[in-house]
Amino acid sequence: MSEAVAVEESEVDSLRQDLEKVKELDGVVGYILRDSSTAMINLDDPKKLVDYAILSSLALEVGDTLAKRLELGDVRDITLKGRDTKVVSLTRNETKISVFIDKEDEYEKILSKLRSLRRS
Amino acid sequence: MNDEVYSFALKNTLDEIQNICPEMKNSLVFKEDGSIIARDENTSEDLAAQIIESFNTISDKTDAIGSIEGITLDCSKGELQVLFINELYMVTVTTEKADKNYVDTVTRVLVPTILRLLEKIRPAPLKRRSLPKTKTPIPEDDVLEEDELEEDTEEESEEDTKDPRAKEDFDDEEADNEDIIPEPPVHQLIVENLGGLLVPSDTVRMDTETLSQWERLFEDVKIEEVNVETFNGKSTRCKVKPMKDSKYEGKGIIRMPEKIQNILQIRKSELVRVKPVID
């Protein structure tokens, strides 16, 4: 039992380390990583934490609903394109990840990085 | 053209898009207030309502990221895209077999063109006119070619004579909009290479006629810079000069040095949106 918990912790920790590297990329203004018991947050503007957290949770929820209704299979990721910021949200196992990007030019590069991170 | 005919024309467009893109499962166009403008044959009213409701659930919470301009939902068996086009939202649902570039090209080029055309022949457009046609030039977001402008003027004159209500509406609109500054017109142009030893890397070249039209539109303000935007959302501001080589004139071309193409991540023959920068 304790071993299983250790594995889970290690996976979240490993994801956090990967996201810290993503956070260093130009255009990334923060990330939120959370599973059923923990949440790790790194945002340039902590004042936006609540709004960002609500939005990223909502995005995944709505994504799941739409994917089921439209028979699109499993959700890989969902991107919300705001006028100022883009939010990419995805789930890896039970861990939910959202990354916030404020540079249009860097979006594709960051998305591709996140997709490869998910597969690793 | 009334709302019903407008919707009918748009629905036909969506059906035709589906014919040329069989991998498109559903398509739908709706307004910001949630009302459906058109949906294709495969999209039931119930399904459309659910999609719009989901969209609204998200858009109600997007203050922190600026107003919502699009959503991409990437799934194992396909993709849903919501695009913001001409103040309308367009939803497309494609299967995993769809050629994304092809679908993107069709939806991002064809649909805006159709919407603009429909608005031009529609007396009460979805979009508010930004200017009266006589006091200050060009009421539209986008500029017509000169011959189209002449046609439109004739058409509108005829409409005014036939339908006094239309004229009254237009007069009201005119009065409301007297003080509004014209929005920069947008042109869709094809990229052509521009190279040579003495060619500045920060300057694009465009039709002399288009530049003159813009200058007339903005009451003889000299247009020295333009904003160029790709259909992938990348944009840059650069200097502009008239084309020297007449063989490129009047062909809907923008000549662009390699450096700017690299910034925009585009190549020759691709389509871009260009509008003048008015400081």
Instruction: Supply the mean pLDDT for chain B.
Output: 78
Mean local confidence (pLDDT), B187-211: 87
The whole-angstrom distance between A74's CA and the closest CA on chain B is 5
What is the predicted ipTM? 0.89
Helix/strand/coil (H/E/C) assignment for every residue in chain B:
CCHHHHHHHHHHHHHHHHHHCCCEEEEEEEECCCCEEEECCCCCHHHHHHHHHHHHHHHCCCHHHCCEEEEEEEECCEEEEEEEECCEEEEEEEECCCCHHHHHHHHHHHHHHHHHHHHHCCCCCCCCCCCCCCCCCCCCCECCCHHHHHHHHHHHHHHHHHCHHHHHHHHHHHHHHCCCCCCCCEEEEEEEECCCCCCCCCEEEECHHHHHHHHHHCCCCCCCEEEEEECCCCEEEEEEEECCCHHHCCCCEEEECHHHHHHHCCCCCCEEEEEECCC
Residue B182 pLDDT? 62
**pLDDT surpasses 70 at B171:** no
**B227–chain A Cβ distance below 8 A for any pair:** no
Mean local confidence (pLDDT), A74-97: 92
What class, spelled out in words, does domain B187-276 have in CATH? mainly beta
For the beta carbon of residue B267, count every other beta carbon within 10 angstroms. 12
Helix axes B3-20, B111-120, angle to 10 degrees: 160
Mean local confidence (pLDDT), B147-176: 46
**A111–chain B Cβ distance below 8 A for any pair:** no
The more confident residue out of B95 and B115 is B95
Dihedral of the alpha carbons of B251, B257, B262, B268, in degrees to the nearest 10:
30
CB-based contact A58 B67, cutoff 8 Å: no
Residue B180 pLDDT? 54
CB-based contact A81 B47, cutoff 8 Å: no
Residue B142 pLDDT? 42
pLDDT in tens, B128-138: 333 333 333 44
Model confidence at B210, in pLDDT bands (50, 70, 90)? confident
Of the candidates B70, B78, B234, the beta carbon closest to that of A72 is on B78
Residue A43 pLDDT? 92
Distance of CA A7 to CAs A72, A95, B129, B169, B210, Å? 31, 13, 61, 69, 64
DSSP A91: E
CB-based contact B64 A52, cutoff 8 Å: yes
Q: Which segment, A76-80, A93-97, A100-104, is predicted with the most confidence on average?
A: A76-80
Mean local confidence (pLDDT), B172-193: 66
CB-based contact B69 A104, cutoff 8 Å: no
Residue B138 pLDDT? 40
Residue B244 pLDDT? 82
Residue A82 pLDDT? 93
Give domain limits for chain B.
3-120, 187-276
Q: Which of A57, A93, A116 is nearest to B64 (CA)?
A: A57
Q: Are B79 and B98 in contact (CB under 8 A)?
A: yes
Residue A99 pLDDT? 95
Chain B residues touching A82 at Cβ < 8 A: 62, 64-69
Q: Which of B253, B197, B200 is nearest to B228 (CA)?
A: B253
Residue B39 pLDDT? 92
Model confidence at B140, in pLDDT bands (50, 70, 90)? very low
**In chain B, % of residues over pLDDT 70:** 76
pLDDT in tens, B242-269: 988 877 777 788 999 999 999 999 888 8
Topology, domain A11-119: Beta-Lactamase (3.30.450)
pLDDT in tens, B21-62: 889 999 999 998 889 999 998 899 999 999 999 999 999 888
**pLDDT surpasses 60 at B126:** no
Distance CA B39, CA B48 (A): 8
Residue B236 pLDDT? 92
Give domain limits for chain A.
11-119
CB-based contact B76 A73, cutoff 8 Å: yes
The more confident residue out of B181 and B37 is B37
Q: A-B interface: how many C-beta pairs under 8 angstroms? A: 104
pTM recorded for the entire structure: 0.59
Residue A9 pLDDT? 52
Residue B87 pLDDT? 84
Residue carrying the six token digits 């609540």: A50
The arrangement of secondary structure in B3-120, i.e. its CATH architecture, is: 2-Layer Sandwich (3.30)
